[in-house]
Amino acid sequence: MKVYPISAILMVSIFAMPLFSGAYEPDRLRVNIRMDKKVFFSDESVLLRICVTNMSDKKNYFEVYDPSGGESSGYTTFQPKVYDMMGRDAKITVPHRIEGRGTADLIRGLEKRIIELAPGEMFIHNVDLREIYDINLDSTYRVRSLFFPSFDQDLVLTSDNELSFRMIEDKRYRKPSEVSSIERSLSPKEVIMLTLRAEKDREWDNWIKFINVEKYINAFPEFVQKYYRADYQEKAEIEKAFIKFVTRERDDYLVDFSIIKESIEKERSIAYVDVVVSRFGIRWIHRFKSRYTLERYNNLWLITDEEATVMKGVKR
């Protein structure tokens, strides 16, 4: 039997210990973006807040890089994508992107840090879009953000929401018009009305606009289990199959609907809309009382859940 010195055994044990006590579950990190306003003056920063929330019930983590590593170092883990209303990319000014260098090449010379998040905890990264893109006056832009939890893995997450913004002349010379300052959005019951109208008319491209597929899929037991066991690529395929399923031609197609109640929890950005839904049946018109749950994303309410209870039918 071989005998090893105690100090050697202790050293091996120390190096064998995990560097992180949580679980690396990048698919349980959710990304959304925020802006304080939609109209910016030309003499101020266009500040975007990129929020990463740990949806796991365990500690989770991701990697960031030292921003002191030069002008390009701020465009690594968080990569906002700005484009105009026609879908054309705004002109990027990040040096390594202009030079055609990949991010993987850039980070080799940067110091890496680990950001640890407790369950439900949020990390907020602020970025001035004017430091990354050429933003033109009087042009309306849209922005989303890509998020790379670890460049050691071929994985990228996209923000759940998209925002729009506009830049106007210096406030000393011009103030924003009343048209620009008015908040324009749909109420939860208006979203439900448009969604059910789209279903009734079989306009599925309009229907899907108001559905948060990643959350709405929870209302369908035949999909939810395999969805949460799937990896990133498999989830994309399951989402396609789910959309095909819910937009199929149904025997019990929608005949009519009536919205009866709307309630909004403003502090949680959650709303509930109760609807009486009538669906076709051979002998009876089947009636259901459906409660739709909606969550606010920027200025739009999206459907995240649906619960239905059977009501007394009506003879045809």
In a shared domain, residues 83 and 33? yes
Q: What is the pLDDT of residue 315?
A: 59
Last residue of one domain, picked from the residues 157, 181, 205: 181
- pLDDT at position 29 is 94
34/162 same-domain check? yes
What pLDDT does 47 receive? 94
Write the pLDDT tens digit of every residue in 245-273.
999 998 999 999 999 999 999 878 899 99
In the chain, which residues have pLDDT < 70?
1-22, 67-74, 101-106, 171-184, 313-316
Same domain, 164 and 310: no
User: What strands, in cross-sheet order, belong to the sheet with 29-34?
Assistant: 29-34, 47-54, 122-128
Residue 15: inside a domain: no
Could you tell me if 141 and 212 lie in one domain? no
Please give the Cα distance from 244 to 149 (Å, whole number): 30
* Domain coverage including residue 262: 188-315
- Number of domains forming the structure of the chain: 2
Question: Which letter does DSSP use for residue 152 in this model?
Answer: T
Look at residues 164, 181, 198 and tell me which one is the last residue of a structural domain. Answer: 181
Residue 140 lies in a domain: yes
- How confident is the model at residue 9, as a pLDDT? 33
Instruction: Determine the length of the chain.
Output: 316
Residue 154 C-alpha from the chain's centroid = 19
* pLDDT tens digits for range 110-119: 788 899 999 9
**CB of 271 closer than 8 Å to CB of 265:** yes
pLDDT in the model for residue 272: 97
232 and 165 in one domain? no
Q: Return the CATH number at 91.
A: 2.60.40.2360
Is residue 137 situated within a structural domain? yes
pLDDT on residue 14: 34
In one-letter notation, the amino acid at residue 142 is R
